[in-house]
Amino acid sequence: MELEHIKNTIHEIRGTKVILDFELAKMYQVETRALKQAVRRNIE
C-alpha cells in the first residue's frame, strides 16, 4: 500500500487524527466486522 494512499485515509476530526474502521480493515485486508472483533478482544 502506498504511503500517499494511507495519508489520504487519515482525517482530522475535532483536532484528532483518525482512520475510519472500514479504511483500516481494507489496509489489513480483513472484513470490518473481523477488525472490530479483534479490537474488542484486545481492548487493553
Domain around 19: 3-41
Find the farthest-apart pair of alpha carbons in the chain and give their distance in angstroms, rounded.
Answer: 30
> Residue 44's pLDDT is what?
80
Q: CA-to-CA distance for 23 and 31, rounded, in angstroms?
A: 10
> Residue 1's pLDDT is what?
61
Number of domain units in the chain: 1
> Residue 36's pLDDT is what?
95
Residues of the chain with pLDDT under 50: none
| Region class of 43: left (phi > 0), else alpha (psi between -120 and 50), else beta | alpha
> Residue 43's pLDDT is what?
84
